[in-house]
Amino acid sequence: MAVYQRSETLYHWVTLRDRNNALIDPDTVTITITDPCGTELVSEDSMTSDSSGVYYYAYDIPANGVYGEWDIKVEADDSGDLSIFKDKMYLLPWDAVAQVRELSGITSKKSVSDDAIARIIWEAYKEALDEVYEEHNDITPKCNPDTGAWFDGTNTTFETPHNRLADYSGDGVVSGYGELSCATDIEGWWRDEDGDCHRVNITVNDAQCGNITITQLDGTAIPSSMEWVHLHYWTEWRTYNERLFRLAASYLAAHKCIIRFQELDKATLADLYSNREMINGHLMRMENEYQRTMRKIRKPLIGGAMKPGGN
């Protein structure tokens, strides 16, 4: 397992041996790389031989690669004898591993590997996204902001009642259902005159203002005979700050790492010593820092002057 960011090159290596532990060169060695959406970005492509029994593959991660856990599968076929080797890699929005190690005090990779920390960071990142954004469900869109047109069989431009549409999927762009294979931030359904429900295609034209295009899945306008159209999306608050959010997610990941660190049986003495005060007396410090930072950028728990976009 490895940790990468967008536009970096993923290098995957594999060493193949026979039953006697001798290096072997099978007839074919192929690799399949699948992103978190289930899309095979590399499908059974041949790996390059570096030396006897040693193979590698270089893959340029797209600039719009989907964040999360990617699957890597290597298949080695030697005269019909098939061996399969599975691995994973994490694509993260930012290089947070070093920061989380520093915050948590877990500096030894013998105690907690970079791979384990990457998994914890991703879990913390998704948990923080759930907390920082405001969810809106079963929302009826507003008319065309330029013409005032409704679902008349030709109009496809509408607005959401709330603006500042949020990047809930955390992939760096606000997208609607149909724009991407997954990682959707706004989706919707419409019901026809017969009472049957259908998904809609949504294109986000302006996330700040909530301007969107809504069509049927085939790209045609929704007919005027429809019974209703409902949307599901998230919005960010005016106080939202991406830098602070990433810091908050790192604090939460550090907190989770400390808890995981306590459960390890093979913790090194160096880490036990350096983290003794934090573990025994300040276990909740990272959690408190997380909450303190989140309070600066999320919906207030008590009513006040701060209001969500569009409200």
Residues 107 and 169 occupy one common structural domain: no
What's the whole-number mean pLDDT along residues 243-264? 85
CATH classification at residue 75: 2.60.40.10
**Residue 263: per-residue pLDDT:** 58
Residues 68 and 126 occupy one common structural domain: no
Q: Does residue 306 belong to any structural domain of this protein? A: no
Dist CA 233 CA 162 (whole Å)? 9
* Domain stop point among 27, 59, 91: 91
Dist CA 50 CA 15 (whole Å)? 10
Cβ-count burial 7-41 (b if 16+ within 10 Å, e if not) = eeebebebebeeeeeeebebeebbbbbbbbeeeeb
Residues 271 and 255 occupy one common structural domain: yes
Q: Provide the number of structural domains found in the chain.
A: 3
For 230, the token pair is 């409902």
Q: Does residue 309 belong to any structural domain of this protein? A: no
* Domain stop point among 38, 64, 91: 91
Q: Of residues 261 and 292, which shows the higher confidence score? A: 292
Residues 169 and 224 occupy one common structural domain: yes
Residues 189 and 260 occupy one common structural domain: no
What's the whole-number mean pLDDT along residues 213-238? 96
Mean pLDDT, the chain, integer: 87
**Residue 310: per-residue pLDDT:** 45
Say which range, 141-145, 241-245, 279-283, has the weakest mean pLDDT.
Answer: 279-283
pLDDT of 42 above 90: yes
What's the whole-number mean pLDDT along residues 189-205? 97
What residues are paired with 82 via a beta bridge?
77
Residues 18 and 64 occupy one common structural domain: yes
**Residue 281: per-residue pLDDT:** 52
Evaluate if pTM is beyond 0.95. Answer: no
* Domain stop point among 202, 220, 235: 235
Full domain range(s) for residue 109 = 97-131+240-295
pLDDT of 250 above 80: yes
155 secondary structure, DSSP code:
-
DSSP string, 5-38: -TTPEEEEEEE-B-TTS-B---SEEEEEEE-TTS
Residues 65 and 212 occupy one common structural domain: no
Q: Does residue 302 belong to any structural domain of this protein? A: no
Residues 11 and 151 occupy one common structural domain: no
Q: Does residue 217 belong to any structural domain of this protein? A: yes
